[in-house]
Amino acid sequence: MSLYLDNAATTPVRPEVLEAITPYLTRYFGNPSSHHEVGEAAASALDDARRRVASVLGMRPGDVLFTSGGTESNNAAIKGIVLGSGRRHLVTTAIEHESVLASADYLHRLHGVEVTHAPVDETGTLTPDVLAAALRNDTALVSVGYANNEIGTVQDVAALATVAHARGVPLHLDAVQAAGWLPLSGTGADAVTIAGHKIGAPKGTGILAVRGRLPFEPLLHGGGQERGRRSGTPDVAGAVGIATALTLAEAERAEEAARVGALRDAFVARVLALVPTARVTGHPAHRLPGTANFVFPGTNGETVLLELERHGIVSSSGSACAAGSDEASHVLLAIGVDHDEARTAVRFTLPHGLTASLDDVADAVAAAVTAVGSRG
């Protein structure tokens, strides 16, 4: 079996999660809105999942909504908070996930919302001063990624929250990549997005936590479930699964981040020693422990990936949402990487639980880059 180093795209379901959700797909299958024994068992499990998620986030159980994943959560947060606010200005950055950028574009095209893409520096960092300059009296929301999905740069979200709150503006944090690696409480965020399949829960599960005081216009209308913020019969098994995965990830987070980060640093150092022309993108220090995004000038990233797969190593050229596209990464372009060089990018994202050295992987990377470069 191939060595899978594309964990920012998706992760396998953890055995503990599979065990936790199975009863709610079989014996406890009830609709949690039903007022009978079968429905109340499901409702109890849903309430417990909500409490566990709220504990990790440092928020209230009533703030937590269960969704179909990160894309829905980002759409709901951005559209729901902006449209609910009555204000018509949104601040984000050009390096955000496509679901954030597309939501901002939707608000601009169909609702006349003005969107400011605050510039980031060459490391992908949004500084508090730059954010402060982007805010206006009619700003409804600031939406930023806690950690970038391609280059791994981690934002100083507490500082950004302080700046936003000083102007009375809420902060939405896309924490899809941060969950399991970074602290999720104490960030100062007013809304937080998490995707289950990035932390060992099934695909199609997600979390949106929105502090109850914020006005919010729901995307989905119907029976008024989730306190009227997301109508539809809740996926109880999915909620149990993502709550279990998040709780496990949080319990292991500090140890995992330290160990995997050290293995990542050794891997990066070996690749750079073997391929002197290579560069690592993103912040050199404030970066996700499991992320290493390289550019290999003189090659083509997709071709390097194919060569690596021949060696039994699976990685990616960036966001899975843009896989197969011939376009250069919008993230790399936004941080000033040349268009041609951006197309040479290869991203390695390491798994939780990694204990072995990646020296053999680094050697294979060097061989792949040499092979691709020699073909001109």
List, for residues 199-249, the tens digit of each pLDDT value.
Answer: 999 999 999 999 988 999 999 999 999 888 999 999 999 999 999 999 999
Looking at 249, 278, 303, the residue that finishes a domain is 249
The per-residue pLDDT for 227 is: 87
Task: Report yes or no: 66 and 243 within 8 Å, Cβ to Cβ.
Answer: no
Q: Are residues 180 and 260 in the same domain?
A: no
Q: Are residues 201 and 269 in the same domain?
A: no
Q: Are residues 197 and 278 in the same domain?
A: no
The per-residue pLDDT for 321 is: 54
pLDDT over 70 percentage in the chain: 97
Q: What is the dihedral of CA 110, 120, 174, 185, to 10 degrees?
A: -140
Q: Are residues 191 and 129 in the same domain?
A: yes
Query: Exposed e or buried b for every residue in 156-171, given b needs 16+ CB within 10 A?
Result: ebeebbebbeeeebbb
Looking at residues 325-329, what average pLDDT do you find?
77
Q: Are residues 230 and 297 in the same domain?
A: no
Which CATH number covers residue 80?
A: 3.40.640.10
Checking if the pLDDT of 320 tops 70, the result is no
Looking at 233, 249, 265, the residue that finishes a domain is 249
Q: Which residue has the higher pLDDT, 33 or 175?
A: 175
Looking at 249, 281, 315, the residue that finishes a domain is 249
Q: Which residue has the higher pLDDT, 269 or 318?
A: 269
Checking if the pLDDT of 324 tops 60, the result is no
Q: Are residues 358 and 240 in the same domain?
A: no
- Among residues 18, 214, 266, 321, the one annotated as catalytic is 321
Checking if the pLDDT of 48 tops 90, the result is yes
The per-residue pLDDT for 376 is: 55
Q: Are residues 32 and 180 in the same domain?
A: yes
| Domain that residue 358 falls in | 3-9+253-374
* Active-site residue, 321 included: yes
Looking at residues 134-155, what average pLDDT do you find?
98
What is the domain count for the chain? 2
Task: Report yes or no: 245 and 14 within 8 Å, Cβ to Cβ.
Answer: yes
Checking if the pLDDT of 45 tops 80, the result is yes
Rounded distance between C-alpha atoms, residue 231 and residue 220, angstroms: 6
Q: Are residues 165 and 178 in the same domain?
A: yes
Looking at residues 348-366, what average pLDDT do you find?
97
Task: Report yes or no: 351 and 251 within 8 Å, Cβ to Cβ.
Answer: no
Q: Which residue has the higher pLDDT, 375 or 126?
A: 126
